Amino acid sequence: MHMHKYEKIWLFFGIGSLFVFLAVLGVGAFAQGTQPPSCLTTIDPEKVDQTPPFDKPGLVKTGDNEYQLNIVASAFAYTPNQVEIPKGAKVTINVATKDVIHGFQIAGTNVNMMVEPGYVSSYTQTFDKVGEYVILCNEYCGAGHHLMTAKVKVVE
Ligand code: CUA
């Protein structure tokens, strides 16, 4: 069976539109990467203090060696500002801001999130190395930006 010229054209068109589709998908995925990692969970920034789990921020055990760490960011502090995590713990970190955009980076780890008002930013990290880690804000948020730090202690 041989192909007619217009069949080839349509085949070419079909493959072409597949590539266009894939390119759009790729660009879409890339654009999403510039959003907070978890932009699906929304929160009223005015009511962070009353919204669980941020009404009781801190470390919560959720399973065998699994934890949730809920942190409230506000100008210019994190609540709580010191956390002890058992070595080897798998921790899902959730951060919400009460005011402006803040950053949430744990120096020396892969944890590096932008925290936008209205959204809960989440990241899961396993802490395998004992030590002290500094949490810092890497989004300029005002006069006290450089003072906005907290500490994570990974203990045996
Ligand atoms: Cu918060 Cu910079």
39 within domain boundaries = no
In terms of domains, do 86 and 135 share one? yes
Alpha helices in the chain (DSSP H): 5-32
State if residue 148 touches ligand 1 by the CB under 6 angstroms criterion. yes
The pairing of beta strand 112-115 with beta strand 102-106: antiparallel
Minimum CA distance residue for ligand 1 atom 1: 102
Instruction: Return mean pLDDT, the chain.
Output: 89
The answer, yes or no, to whether the previous bond of 76 is cis (omega within 30 of 0) is yes
In a domain, 40, yes or no: no
Tokens of 77: 């502090």
Condensed to tens digits (0 to 9), the pLDDT of residues 67-82 reads 999 999 999 999 999 9
What tokens appear for 126 in the block?
A: 């396993």
Residues 86 and 117 occupy one common structural domain: yes
Residue 83 sits in a domain whose CATH number is 2.60.40.420
Q: Do residue 50 and residue 113 come from a single domain?
A: yes
Residue 135 lies in a domain: yes
Separation between Cα atoms, residue 126 and residue 75, nearest integer Å? 28
9-56 per-position pLDDT tens digit: 777 777 677 666 666 666 656 555 455 554 579 999 999 999 999 999
C-beta 98 within 6 A of ligand 1: no
**Is the torsion defined by CA of 16, 18, 21, 26 positive or negative?**
negative
Please report the ipTM that was assigned to this predicted complex. 0.99
Contact assessment for residue 37 and residue 121, using Cβ atoms and an 8 Å cutoff: yes
50 C-beta neighbours (distance < 10 Å), count: 9
Distance 84 CA to ligand 1 centre (A): 22
Domain that holds residue 139: 45-155
Answer yes or no: do 149 and 111 share one domain: yes
Are residues 98 and 22 part of one domain? no
Closest residue by Cα to residue 156 from 117, 130, 135, 133: 130
- Residues 64 and 128 placed together within one structural domain of the fold: yes
Same domain, 51 and 24: no
Residue 104 falls inside a structural domain: yes
- Tell whether 89 is covered by a domain: yes
Residue 107 lies in a domain: yes
pLDDT in tens, 74-133: 999 999 999 999 999 999 999 999 999 999 999 999 999 999 999 999 999 999 999 999
pLDDT average, residue stretch 135-140: 97
CB 149 less than 6 A from any atom of ligand 1: no
In sequence order, the β-bridge partners of residue 82 are: 151
- Is any ligand 1 atom within 6 A of the Cβ of residue 140? yes
Is residue 70 assigned to a domain? yes
Question: What domain count does the chain have?
Answer: 2
> How far is it, in rounded angstroms, from Cα 100 to Cα 141?
7
